[in-house]
Structure 1
Amino acid sequence: MTIEINRAGWATVAVLVGRLIFAAVFIMAVSFKLMDIGATAGYIASAGFPMPTLLAWLAALFELALIACFLTGAYFSEAALLAAAYVLFLAFAFHGPSHWAGNQTEFGFFVDHFTFIAGLLFAAAHGPGQLLAMKRGWIARR
C-alpha cells in the first residue's frame, strides 16, 4: 500500500507559508522602525548616511509596500526582486567587511542576509502561487 502525496496541495501550502514568512520578517523590521524611528535614524547615521530620519521613514514605507505585496501577491515577483536588492544593500551597509574586524558576529549577520536573498530570488522566479494571489505585475510569466 502506498500513500500518494498531493504535490499541488503541498506546494500551495509551502508557497503561502513562504509568503507569510517574508511578510513577517518585514513586519518585524518595520515595527522596530516605527516603535523608535529616532533609534533607527541613529543607526543609519552611525553607518555614515546623510538625512538619517528621512531614510528611516523611506525604509519604513518601502517595507510596508513589500509587506502588502507579499501578503496579497500583487507585484510579487517585482517586490521579491526589490527586496533582494534591499537586503543586499543592508548586508553591505550595516554588516559588511568594514564591520568584521571589530566583531566577528557581524560576519554571521552578513552571511545570513544571503540566505534570505536566495529565498527572495527563488520566490521572484516562481511567483506568488495560485492561491490568495492578486494577478498583477510587470514581469511576464511563461
Structure 2
Amino acid sequence: MSKTIAICLARLIFGAVFVMAASFKFADMQSTAGYIASAGFPLSMFLAWIAAFFESALAICLLTGAFFSEAALAAGIYVIFLAFSFHGPNRWSGNQAEFGFFVDHFVFLAGLLFAAVHGPGERFAVRVGLLQSNVEI
C-alpha cells in the first residue's frame, strides 16, 4: 500500500509541475513569448503556444499513466533543454541563483528517468504506451 501511495504522490507532483507551467503560459502567453524571445529564440509566440500544449500533454500522460515512460523521457529531455536555454552558464555571472535553477533541473531529470524506467505503478494507471515499464531503457 505504501508503494502505491508513494508512486501516486510522485505522479501527482510530476503532473502538477507541468499543469502549473502550462497554466502560467496560457494565462499570459505574451509574457511567455517575451521570455522566450529574451533567450534569443525566433518565433517566440509560436514556441510559447507549442510549449503550453506540450506541457499540458505531459501533465495528462504523467497523471493518467498513459504513455507514461515515453512522457517521462520526453519531459526529461525538455527539462534539460530548458536548463541550458534559460538557466545555463551564460546567466550565472549576472545572478548566482541561476546556477541553483540550473542544478534543480537535473534533480528533476533524475526523478523523471527513474519514473520512465519503473513506470506508472500497478494501480490507478492507464497502461498504454510504446515502451514497457520495468524494462531497461
Same topology, TM > 0.5:
yes
> How many residue pairs are counted as aligned between the two chains?
134
Q: 1:93 aligns with which of 78, 81, 85?
A: 85
The separation in 2 between residues aligned to 1:124 and 1:21, in whole angstroms, is 15
| Residue 123 (structure 2) pairs with residue 131 (structure 1) | yes
Let me know the Cα RMSD of the aligned residues.
0.7
* Residue in structure 1 matched with residue 95 of structure 2 by the alignment: 103
List structure 1 runs of 4+ shifted beyond 6 angstroms: none
Report the residue type matching 2:14 in the other structure.
Answer: F
The separation in 1 between residues aligned to 2:55 and 2:94, in whole angstroms, is 29
Which entry has the higher C-alpha Rg, 1 or 2? 1
- The TM-score with structure 2 as length reference comes to 0.96
Q: 5+ unaligned residues in a row in structure 2: which ranges? A: none
Report the residue type matching 1:79 in the other structure.
Answer: A
Q: 5+ unaligned residues in a row in structure 1: which ranges? A: 1-8
The separation in 1 between residues aligned to 2:80 and 2:132, in whole angstroms, is 24
Question: How much has 1:71 moved relative to structure 2?
Answer: 1.2
Q: State the identity %.
A: 63
Report the residue type matching 2:130 in the other structure.
Answer: W
The separation in 2 between residues aligned to 1:27 and 1:64, in whole angstroms, is 6
- The TM-score with structure 1 as length reference comes to 0.93
Question: How much has 1:28 moved relative to structure 2?
Answer: 0.9
